[in-house]
Chain A
Amino acid sequence: MTQAPAEIPAKREITTKPRFSDRVFRAVVTSGGLSSLVILGLILLFLLFNGYSTLKSQGIHFLTSSNWQAVVNDAGQFDAKNSHFGIAAMLIGTMIVAVIAVFIGVPISVGAAIYLTFYAPAFVKKIMVSAIDLMAAFPSVLFGLWGFFVLESSGEYWAKLLNKYFSWIPIFKLPAPYVNRSPFIAGLVLAVMIIPIVTSISREIFSQTPLDRIQAAYALGGTRFAMLRAVAFPYARSGIVGGVMLGLGRAMGETVAVYTVLNIVYQVNWHILFSAGGNVASMILLKFGDASPQEIKALMAAGLVLFVMTLIVNSLANLIVARTGKSGR
């Protein structure tokens, strides 16, 4: 008689019964975690609900045209036929100013992070880290005022220098000799504002560079610079990209500081030194005070576009971090 095949038992379900206190705590932290998601969702719904009518009536022109006119007829009624809402200049302006900020701010931030992690003596490091944290908490309107009264005048000099020597590059051309309140100045102010966040993220990543790899580089006769290139940079690269994207997001959404220094003009302007720029967030602030109910709906739509744009930048950041992340780790 052959042996009966061994019977394979059904898989058991493995469970644990959490204590009551565990469940309460779990509920508290879960609701905390979910609330940010819920709030974000509600804001998105709110913007969609209010901005929908404008998006529908303007169609793709909302994104491609730079014409912003809320026409009121003689009877004081909103004239939907002759009103136009287009934010192309604002969208492009937002990107230009944010990119300028990243271009100027990131090298400074990464340099500061390297100095703080690998070069600075302990007491300098301590002072500078708290100074940078303070800078992050500094009210943005003060940056705006400083930019308006201080940076504006020195920035004018730099702008003229750039124009004098680099005007063969199209973006440094000046269509007319006005360099005040330009995207360049706004970008400078924003650069100062994103330095704290990019610096602290980069510093955090650099300081996590595994000590055994640093020692391996030194033990092979590497100088500090060689060690940075071979070990610290590959390790920190993806984290720095993440920090830069966060900085870019902040630069795109910043309102008050940009509003203070930038001359907002409803026309696409690629000449960064010229006194004409655009910025979605600042435009919303500019128009909000005396906007008719219909125009407010258009502003909501603009807000929605800004929201989506920030979302895209953040997703892009995640994608880049995920793709470059593994190799240096």
Chain B
Amino acid sequence: MTIEPGESQGEEMETTTSKGSLSDISAARLQKQPGNSALGVGLEARGVHAWFGEKHALANVSLDFWPGTVTALIGPSGCGKSTFIRTLNRMHEFIPGAAMAGEVLLNGEDIYAPGVDVTKIRLKVGMVFQKPNPFPSMTIAENVLAGLKLAQLKVDNKGELLEECLERAGLWSEVKDRLNTHGGALSGGQQQRLCIARALAVRPQVLLMDEPCSALDPGSTLRIEETISQLSSSVTIVIVTHNMQQAARVSDYTAFFLSDGGPGQMIEVGSTNEMFSRPKDKRTENYVTGRFG
């Protein structure tokens, strides 16, 4: 289902804010469930399909991400949640044979429109991957600031930005005395927080996290969850996770994806509380209560 920006559907009319201020949005957020009305702000997926060659991997997903919220995508393996998250910053197209349909709107603009500079999109929609992937040839400080170099951005005070990003990623106190050593010497959890700091340094509007804790021990996972909570006030976060407790702990909204052998679909989306206490769909209930998946 594709809806033109500016158009909206029935009862959701009154909450639709076009380019609204943050306070409007947070007011709206109290009443608004993620739906499929055109917001004009934040990140919106409209009828997204995805293919790998002939394989139809994802069908007709429409989902909004309100500024300043954390949305968790849950579902069993192979349900298309990672594929979906990668369509949101055009990382999907790196896989040979990958194709998509539908629209992804960032602040009301289609990121797949012809002539869009994809590097600018990825600056606004950052990504943290499943496996920590710091650049081993760079020091900790260079890693954090790597995005500036890659995108050729100028910053007046690099030292300040460095400290701010490491602070926000919850890593500053652990590395402040060894900023000029190589990132490879850090533990897995520290490396992942370094990657978060690196993603924050280019000041993204949205941060996509693709199972950021799946390779980490419980202690590091906890630290990253704290980081996510601290970030959520300033950055829109979309997190794919296999860990249902994690989804319950960190997210405001949860979307449940499932594949019945065909392409993955979004079964249900709602506030995390509701999704885990009284889901509308039987399949969601079975999944969140651990009856399958």
CA gap between A231 and B149 in the complex, in Å: 12
Does more than half of chain A's interface fall in helix, strand or loop, or is it mixed? helix
Task: Please tell me which one of the listed residues A210, A230, A234, A329 contacts residue B150 in the complex, with CB atoms under 8 A apart.
Answer: A230
- Map CB proximity to A onto B141-166 as digits: 1 under 8 Å, 0 otherwise: 00000110111100000000000000
- Assess the A220–B146 pair: CB atoms within 8 A: yes
Knowing A215-B91, A230-B135, A235-B137 touch, does A220 contact B129 (C-beta < 8 A)? no
CA gap between A244 and B184 in the complex, in Å: 28
| Chain B positions within 8 Å of A230 at CB level | 135, 138, 146, 149-150
Which residue of chain A lies nearest to B126 when distances are taken between CB atoms in the complex?
A219
- Assess the B135–A216 pair: CB atoms within 8 A: yes
| Chain B positions within 8 Å of A216 at CB level | 129, 133-135, 195, 198
- Assess the B119–A223 pair: CB atoms within 8 A: yes
Interface residues of B, CB < 8 Å — how many? 29
- Assess the A221–B119 pair: CB atoms within 8 A: yes
Task: Please tell me which one of the listed residues B96, B133, B150, B195 contacts residue A221 in the complex, with CB atoms under 8 A apart.
Answer: B150
How many pairs of residues, A versus B, come closer than 8 Å at their CB atoms? Answer: 76
Knowing A212-B131, A213-B133, A327-B136 touch, does A220 contact B91 (C-beta < 8 A)? no
CA gap between A215 and B90 in the complex, in Å: 11
Which residue of chain A lies nearest to B208 when distances are taken between CB atoms in the complex?
A219
- Assess the B94–A222 pair: CB atoms within 8 A: no
- Assess the B126–A220 pair: CB atoms within 8 A: yes
Say yes or no: is B127 at the interface (Cβ < 8 Å to chain A): yes
Say yes or no: is A170 at the interface (Cβ < 8 Å to chain B): no
Knowing A220-B147, A221-B119 touch, does A234 contact B91 (C-beta < 8 A)? no
| Chain A positions within 8 Å of B254 at CB level | none
- Map CB proximity to A onto B173-197 as digits: 1 under 8 Å, 0 otherwise: 0000000001000000000000100
- Assess the B150–A222 pair: CB atoms within 8 A: yes
Say yes or no: is B105 at the interface (Cβ < 8 Å to chain A): no
| Chain A positions within 8 Å of B198 at CB level | 216, 220
Interface of chain A residues 211 through 239 with chain B (CB within 8 A): 212-213, 215-223, 226-227, 230-231, 234-235
Say yes or no: is B199 at the interface (Cβ < 8 Å to chain A): yes
| Chain B positions within 8 Å of A231 at CB level | 135
Knowing A226-B150, A227-B150, A230-B149 touch, does A221 contact B135 (C-beta < 8 A)? no
CA gap between A226 and B153 in the complex, in Å: 12
CA gap between A203 and B147 in the complex, in Å: 26
- Interface size for chain A: under 10, 10 to 19, 20 to 34, or 35 or more residues? 20 to 34
Task: Please tell me which one of the listed residues B122, B135, B136 contacts residue A219 in the complex, with CB atoms under 8 A apart.
Answer: B122
Say yes or no: is A59 at the interface (Cβ < 8 Å to chain B): no
CA gap between A234 and B151 in the complex, in Å: 18
- Assess the B136–A329 pair: CB atoms within 8 A: yes
Knowing A212-B131, A226-B152, A230-B146 touch, does A220 contact B199 (C-beta < 8 A)? yes
- Map CB proximity to B onto A186-227 as digits: 1 under 8 Å, 0 otherwise: 000000000000000000000000101101111111110011
CA gap between A220 and B94 in the complex, in Å: 14
| Chain A positions within 8 Å of B133 at CB level | 210, 212-213, 215-216
Say yes or no: is A328 at the interface (Cβ < 8 Å to chain B): yes
Knowing A235-B137, A327-B136 touch, does A218 contact B202 (C-beta < 8 A)? no
| Chain B positions within 8 Å of A221 at CB level | 119-120, 122-123, 147, 150-151, 202
Minimal beta-carbon separation of B10 from chain A (angstroms): 37
| Chain A positions within 8 Å of B147 at CB level | 220-222
- Assess the A328–B136 pair: CB atoms within 8 A: yes
Task: Please tell me which one of the listed residues A215, A227, A235 contacts residue B129 in the complex, with CB atoms under 8 A apart.
Answer: A215
Interface of B with A (CB < 8 Å)? 89, 91, 94, 96, 119-120, 122-123, 126-127, 129, 131, 133-138, 146-147, 149-152, 182, 195, 198-199, 202
Interface of A with B (CB < 8 Å)? 122, 210, 212-213, 215-223, 226-227, 230-231, 234-235, 327-329
A-B contact list, 23 entries, CB within 8 Å: A210-B133, A216-B129, A216-B133, A216-B135, A217-B146, A218-B91, A218-B94, A219-B91, A219-B199, A220-B122, A220-B146, A220-B147, A220-B199, A221-B147, A221-B150, A223-B119, A223-B150, A226-B149, A226-B151, A226-B152, A230-B149, A235-B137, A327-B136
